[in-house]
């Protein structure tokens, strides 16, 4: 059922993994989609073609979400192409294992730049460009609740995202805009699986009571719910989608 027909969604980091699935799910429900990417144009264009195969319009826009000028250009491209912005999904992010005692400030800065600064800029632009009844959804992580060694900078960046979401929901009072976060548990994307042994992956899958890794579709379905009319009474929340992982 097309619940978003006539609406436009921006999905940052939309060329692969969870972002790709979110873009396709929103398209299947009637959204035109702006697929933001930073590196792989070929993957972004493949998502555009997949959206168009679902009967919706799409464009791919390269841009570093942590660069304010490039983020503004992304939103301007969406308005130029489709005339409106209704849904913004802040999904772009990076993850790296960085033990705090190592003092790897360059890695810390890189993670915070993309995950925290990038989310701040995207949320700021969304607040300026969304109309009445818009939806803003930022991706966090359920690893926040587990304090997993090596994830300090990543957890710090995602804790910042959750704080921004709750504050922004209050700042947008009176405009009918819902601002929420979705916090996945372990999801079997290429990025997540990279560098892990079969034994490590199996152990991670067993951590949740449902005893499997999540899929991008598991996450996209919740994002689509929050983006649509059914999610109109959900605001300033962090939805943990993790099979009981945390």
Residue positions annotated with a catalytic role: 154
Q: Say whether 241 sits in a helix, a strand or coil.
A: strand
Cα angle vertex 191, ends 185, 29, to 5°? 65
Segments of the chain assigned E as strands: 8-11, 32-37, 58-62, 87-90, 135-139, 178-184, 238-241
Q: Please list, in sequence order, all residues whose beta carbon lies within 8 angstroms of the beta carbon of residue 12, skipping any fewer than 6 positions away.
A: 19, 36, 65, 74, 89, 90, 91, 92, 118, 122
Q: Residue 61 has which token pair? A: 């826009």
214 three-state secondary structure: strand
How many CB atoms within 10 Å of residue 46? 16
| Length of the chain measured in residues | 246
Give the Cα separation of 34 and 126 in Å (integer): 13
What gap in Å lies between CA 49 and CA 36, rounded to an integer? Answer: 14
């Amino acid at each position: 059922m097309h619940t978003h027909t006539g609406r436009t969604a921006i999905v940052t980091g939309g060329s692969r993994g969870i972002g790709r699935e979110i873009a396709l799910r929103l398209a299947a429900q009637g959204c035109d989609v702006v697929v933001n990417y930073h590196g792989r144009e070929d993957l972004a264009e493949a998502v555009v073609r997949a959206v168009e195969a679902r009967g919706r319009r799409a464009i791919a826009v390269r841009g570093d979400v942590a660069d304010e000028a490039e983020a503004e250009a992304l939103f301007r491209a969406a308005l130029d192409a489709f005339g409106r912005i209704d849904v913004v999904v802040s999904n772009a992010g990076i993850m790296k294992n960085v033990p705090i005692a190592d003092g790897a400030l360059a890695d810390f800065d890189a993670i915070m730049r993309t995950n925290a600064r990038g989310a701040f800029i995207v949320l700021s632009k969304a607040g300026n460009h969304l109309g009445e009844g818009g939806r803003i959804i930022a991706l966090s992580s359920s690893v926040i609740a587990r304090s997993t060694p090596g994830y300090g900078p990543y957890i710090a960046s995602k804790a910042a995202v959750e704080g921004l979401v709750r504050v922004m929901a209050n700042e947008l009072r009176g405009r009918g805009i819902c601002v929420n976060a979705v916090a996945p548990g372990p999801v079997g994307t290429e990025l997540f699986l990279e560098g892990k042994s079969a034994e490590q992956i199996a152990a991670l899958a067993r951590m949740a009571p449902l005893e499997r890794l999540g899929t991008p579709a598991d996450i996209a379905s919740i994002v689509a719910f929050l983006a649509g009319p059914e999610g109109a009474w959900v605001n300033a929340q962090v939805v943990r989608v993790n099979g009981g992982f945390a």
